[in-house]
């Protein structure tokens, strides 16, 4: 075996078989593969049988296939492409990618800045202000990005984030694991509050995240885990960075496997519909949690159909605009914009975005330039790729042309 094959095999075993990771191996081998950092050629560790849910081990079935698309935050013409196929476990209503890309390819050089959205920053500030912490308490955020949340605390704080995003809070530049949690606890003590926003969806091994929370959380502490919810999932949020699309059912099972309890859940509007789960060492779930679980068995899986209809509609709108001699642009070089361009094949003249690190680059796998917002005036029609910030963008940005929403 080559070195890459050896590493791939080790990771494959870790993610698919290790019983101490909480995996149920009784359903046989997963056919799921893992794409490796130093094997851009997409080394795929697949051999046989059927895929199994990464949380409960039950068999899964495919509900969406986007084909091979570029990595959504790789802003080059030749961005690497990998398949995106989504499978669902009907037992715990957890959607998950059939094959995953090594996180170090995707998250170490990361242009995304949470602070660029005033909606995000305001929500983070409100959440922080609601916490009952004193100066000496310790708070940890997993996936702390540029510090948009932790900076609002007046106590001891630590961010954990493997990316190169400049941060104005103390940050451990690593992936969060159970092992890292042990180290942090040994040096700083237990955390009174932990946050993990849009991070448990991104990690191929959610067991290590949950075990790490268990390790680091103070006996009376609370951990807030936020993630888009399976109900109402938008197909353009299906991409390599999102390995999981969580349900309350699956979150409760994962927490339980690691000795934690989901004691409350709040529905949030962010990212087209998310849930903030409240986890503690022990406790009983509120009605809100039970209500979410109760509704999840009737989630409808229409992703492939939605994708076909949305793409057809968008192609029609753009063709009509072009025939009328209009200029069409995109707004927001969001990951979902990259997915939309790749799947629909729609062409836009340029994409406006306020992120300095994205300007001057091109949309993943295309020649479409990303420019600053002042260029918007050159377009007659703007497709709002960042549709999740519709109100924030449309109310703030001056544009005399027509806004088009990607989802009809």
Residues that bind ligand DWN (CB under 6 A): 112, 116-117, 198, 241, 332-336, 353-355, 358, 386, 388-389, 392-393
Q: How far is the CB of 52 from Zn ion (least distance, A)?
A: 8
Instruction: Decide: helix, strand or coil at residue 249.
Output: helix
Q: How far is the CB of 149 from ligand DWN (least distance, A)?
A: 12
Q: How far is the CB of 232 from ligand DWN (least distance, A)?
A: 16
Cα 35 from Cα 158, distance rounded (Å): 31
Contact pattern for Zn ion over residues 28 through 67, marking x by CB under 5 A: -------------------------x-xx-x---------
Instruction: Decide: helix, strand or coil at residue 187.
Output: helix
Cα 348 from Cα 367, distance rounded (Å): 10
Nearer to Zn ion, 24 or 391 (CB): 24
Instruction: Give the one residue of 91, 266, 349, 402 binding Zn ion; rule: CB under 5 A.
Output: 91
Cα 163 from Cα 107, distance rounded (Å): 6
Stated length of the chain: 408
Nearer to ligand DWN, 137 or 353 (CB): 353
Q: Which helix (H) or strand (E) holds 14?
A: helix 3-16
Per partner kind, with CB cut-offs from 5 to 8 A, the member of Zn ion, ligand DWN, none near residue 191 is none
Cα 76 from Cα 94, distance rounded (Å): 32
Instruction: Decide: helix, strand or coil at residue 225.
Output: strand
Per partner kind, with CB cut-offs from 5 to 8 A, the member of Zn ion, ligand DWN, none near residue 65 is none
Nearer to ligand DWN, 184 or 201 (CB): 201
Q: How far is the CB of 351 from ligand DWN (least distance, A)?
A: 9
Per partner kind, with CB cut-offs from 5 to 8 A, the member of ligand DWN, Zn ion, none near residue 388 is ligand DWN
Please give the distance of CA 343 from its chain centroid, rounded to a whole number.
19
Contact pattern for Zn ion over residues 93 through 132, marking x by CB under 5 A: -x--------------------------------------
Per-position DSSP letters for 290-323, written without gaps between them: HHHHHHHTT----HHHHHHHHHHHHHHHHHHHHH
Nearer to ligand DWN, 21 or 354 (CB): 354
Where are the strands (E) in 27-170, listed by range?
34-35, 61-70, 81-89, 94-97, 100-101, 138-142, 156-160
Nearer to ligand DWN, 112 or 153 (CB): 112
Q: How far is the CB of 357 from ligand DWN (least distance, A)?
A: 9
Cα 224 from Cα 201, distance rounded (Å): 14
Per partner kind, with CB cut-offs from 5 to 8 A, the member of ligand DWN, Zn ion, none near residue 53 is Zn ion
In Å, how far are 125, 220, 302, 392, 393 from 396, measured between CA atoms? 21, 42, 33, 6, 5
The answer to whether residue 181 forms part of the interface with Zn ion (CB under 5 A) is: no
Per partner kind, with CB cut-offs from 5 to 8 A, the member of Zn ion, ligand DWN, none near residue 100 is none
Q: Are 339 and 236 in contact (CB under 8 A)?
A: yes
The answer to whether residue 306 forms part of the interface with Zn ion (CB under 5 A) is: no
The answer to whether residue 92 forms part of the interface with Zn ion (CB under 5 A) is: yes
Nearer to ligand DWN, 255 or 386 (CB): 386
Per partner kind, with CB cut-offs from 5 to 8 A, the member of ligand DWN, Zn ion, none near residue 218 is none
Residue of 310, 322, 295, 294 whose CA lies nearest to 381:
322
Q: Which helix (H) or strand (E) holds 279?
A: strand 274-280
In Å, how far are 129, 142, 149, 270, 392 from 126, measured between CA atoms? 5, 18, 10, 14, 17
Cα 300 from Cα 121, distance rounded (Å): 32
Per partner kind, with CB cut-offs from 5 to 8 A, the member of Zn ion, ligand DWN, none near residue 91 is Zn ion
Q: How far is the CB of 241 from ligand DWN (least distance, A)?
A: 4
Per partner kind, with CB cut-offs from 5 to 8 A, the member of Zn ion, ligand DWN, none near residue 223 is none
Q: How far is the CB of 304 from Zn ion (least distance, A)?
A: 21
Nearer to Zn ion, 56 or 307 (CB): 56
The answer to whether residue 89 forms part of the interface with Zn ion (CB under 5 A) is: yes
Contact positions toward Zn ion, by CB under 5 A?
Answer: 53, 55-56, 58, 89, 91-92, 94
């Amino acid at each position: 075996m080559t070195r890459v094959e050896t590493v791939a095999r080790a990771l494959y075993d870790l993610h698919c078989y290790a019983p101490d990771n909480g995996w149920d191996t009784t359903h046989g081998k997963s056919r799921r593969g893992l794409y490796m950092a130093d094997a851009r050629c997409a080394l795929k560790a697949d051999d046989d049988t059927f895929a199994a849910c990464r949380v409960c081990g039950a068999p899964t079935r495919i509900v969406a296939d986007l084909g091979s698309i570029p990595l959504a935050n790789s802003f080059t013409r030749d961005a690497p492409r990998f398949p995106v196929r989504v499978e669902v476990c009907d037992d715990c209503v957890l959607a998950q990618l059939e094959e995953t890309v090594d996180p170090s390819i995707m998250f170490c050089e990361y242009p995304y800045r949470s602070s660029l959205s005033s909606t995000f920053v305001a929500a983070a500030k409100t959440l922080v202000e609601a916490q009952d912490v004193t100066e000496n308490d310790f708070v940890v955020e997993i996936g702390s990005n540029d510090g948009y949340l932790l900076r609002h605390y007046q106590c001891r704080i630590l961010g954990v984030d493997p990316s190169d995003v400049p941060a104005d809070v103390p940050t451990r530049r690593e992936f969060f694991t159970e092992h890292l949690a042990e180290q942090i606890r040994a040096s700083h003590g237990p955390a009174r509050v932990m946050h993990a926003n849009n991070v448990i969806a991104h990690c191929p091994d959610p067991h290590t995240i949950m075990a790490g929370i268990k390790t680091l959380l103070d006996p009376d502490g609370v951990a807030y885990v936020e993630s888009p919810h399976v109900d109402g999932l938008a197909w353009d949020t299906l991409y390599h960075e999102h390995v999981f699309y969580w349900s309350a059912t699956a979150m409760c099972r994962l927490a339980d496997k690691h000795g934690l309890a989901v004691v409350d859940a709040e529905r949030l509007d962010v990212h087209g519909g998310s849930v903030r789960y409240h986890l503690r060492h022990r406790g009983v779930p509120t009605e809100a949690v039970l209500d979410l679980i109760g509704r999840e068995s009737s989630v409808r899986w229409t992703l492939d159909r939605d994708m076909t209809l949305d793409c057809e509609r968008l192609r029609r709108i753009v063709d009509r605009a072009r025939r009328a001699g209009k200029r069409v642009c995109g707004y927001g070089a969001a990951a979902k914009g990259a997915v939309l361009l790749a799947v629909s094949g729609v062409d836009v003249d340029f994409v406006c975005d306020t992120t300095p690190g994205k300007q001057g680059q091109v949309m993943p796998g295309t020649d479409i330039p990303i420019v600053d917002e002042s260029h918007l005036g050159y377009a007659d029609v703007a497709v709002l790729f960042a549709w999740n910030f519709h109100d924030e963008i449309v109310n703030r940005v001056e544009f005399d042309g027509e806004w088009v929403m990607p989802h009809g």
